Amino acid sequence: MPCQTNIELENLLKEAKQYTKMGKVADYIPALSKANPDDLSIAIYYPDGKYVFAGNIEEKITLQSISKVLTLALALIQRGEEFVFSKVGYEPTGDPFNSIVKLEISNPSKPLNPMINAGALAVTHMIEGHSVEERLSNILSFIQLLTGSEDIHYSKEVAQSEFETSHLNRSLCYFMKQHGIIDENVEELLDLYTKQCAIEVNCLDLARIGIVFALGGIDPITKERVMPEYVARLCKTFMVTCGMYNASGEFAVRVGIPAKSGVSGGILGAVPNRFGIGISGPALDDKGNSVAGVKLLEMLAEKYSLSMF
């Protein structure tokens, strides 16, 4: 088992931290630009409920794109695989997460996968509930279940900041509405999506979610099943093929674990049957992944032979 003590992890973190200088915090969502680019934290959560961490475990970041894998799991539970994949595909795009180009040239005209913005918006559209509030509360309850914490909320400031500036996501929604992928009011869908992306977690929450995926949907504390095994498997597969945007191929070669990143600098990792990993490190590389977070995972992967391939 890797890293049984915080000190072991702190040494790796110290080495990886120098890479924060090579990245920049996201600023296309204005509120995210307030993050500290020098921050870096990590937690590893084991199947027996023990965990180790390094950095500031209290520091919260917003889920951003990490939420895409969680709403995918919830949509699969609520709607089933056949319905979900009638609206989104299974294939990586090789394009940036917010690209519009393949939406037009794909036939049938549906988002290529649920991890790009277009696909995630289509999945959020599927979340059940009679109002934005009820659907958001379903998403929050699911994340509370996965983290084992009631203390999961969203940042109004970050949600508002993204809602006011999401013109590209609006255009993706209108395109999909034209093609019958979604049929709801676009402003309402964006309201829900931006709140979902603004849900706040720390790196321990992420590691706790990671262990549930790593254990195929079993809660490490209660030992109860919190999602069907096939849902956990399907989500982990998308994390491998599309979880790190258009850097997923290189990440699979260098690290080789299912992982999902977000532009807030978070990374959720699941090492099958072994442990969950949560990272927060807001300085991003040019693809939008935490630059020092990826480095830290590369170091861990090499030191403890994490690759599943």
Ligand X SMILES: NC(=O)CC[C@H](N)C(=O)O
Catalytic residue of the set 193, 260, 280, 290: 193
Q: Which of 99, 245, 260, 264 is catalytic?
A: 245
| Residue from 117, 155, 248, 290 binding ligand X (CB under 6 A) | 117
Token pair 């992306």 is found at 197
Rounded to a whole number of angstroms, the distance between the first and last alpha carbons of the chain is 18
Known binder of ligand: residue 246?
no
User: Which of residues 162 and 219 has its CB atom nearest to ligand X in the complex?
Assistant: 162
**Does 99 participate in catalysis according to the annotation?**
no
Which of 247, 241, 240, 293 shows the shortest CA–CA distance to 266? 293
Asked if residue 114 has a cis previous peptide bond (ω within 30° of 0), the answer is: no
Task: Kindly tell me which residue out of 9, 25, 123, 197 binds ligand X, with binding defined by CB under 6 A.
Answer: 197
Nearest to 20 by CA among 280, 279, 283, 203: 283
Q: What are phi and psi of 2, to 5 degrees?
A: -75, 160
Q: Which residue among 25, 52, 68, 255 is the active-site one?
A: 68
What's the half-sphere exposure (Cβ side, CA atoms, 13 Å) at 45?
A: 29
CB-nearer residue toward ligand X: 216 or 288: 288
- The minimum distance between CB 64 and ligand X, in angstroms, equals 3
Catalytic residue among 212, 263, 291, 294: 263
Question: CA–CA separation, 263 vs 283, rounded Å?
Answer: 9
Q: Which of 52, 58, 61 minimizes the C-alpha distance to 10?
A: 52
Indicate if 28 belongs to the active site.
no
Is 263 marked within a binding site?
A: yes
What residue type is 232 in one-letter code?
A
Cβ atoms 231, 73 nearer than 8 A: yes
Taken in order 132, 137, 140, 146, the sign of the CA dihedral is negative
Count of residues binding ligand X (CB under 6 A)?
Answer: 11
Candidates 138, 272, 146; CA nearest to 208 is: 146
Q: Is 65 annotated in the active site?
A: yes
Nearest to 196 by CA among 99, 59, 302, 65: 65
Footprint of ligand X on residues 156-185 (CB under 6 A)? 162, 169
33 is in an annotated binding site: no
Residue 225 φ then ψ, to 5°: -80, 125
Nearest distance from C-beta of residue 137 to ligand X, angstroms: 19
CB of 13 to ligand X, least distance (A): 23
Q: Would you say 173 or 240 has its CB closer to ligand X?
A: 173
Query: Of residues 41, 71, 93, 98, which one binds ligand X by CB under 6 A?
Result: 98
Smallest gap from Cβ 250 to ligand X, in A, equals 17
Would you say 216 or 266 has its CB closer to ligand X?
266
Report the site for ligand X in 202-261 (rule: CB under 6 A): none
- Closest approach, Cβ 182 to ligand X, in A, equals 15
DSSP 8-class letter at 281: -
Residues 52-81 touching ligand X, rule: CB under 6 A, are: 64-65
Q: Is 186 part of the annotated catalytic residue set?
A: no
Residue 65 assigned as binding residue: yes
Q: Which of residues 267-306 bind ligand X (CB under 6 A)?
A: 288
Query: Using CB under 6 A as the criterion, which residues of the chain lie in contact with ligand X when the complex forms?
Result: 64-65, 97-98, 117, 162, 169, 197, 262-263, 288
Report the catalytic residues: 65, 68, 193, 245, 263
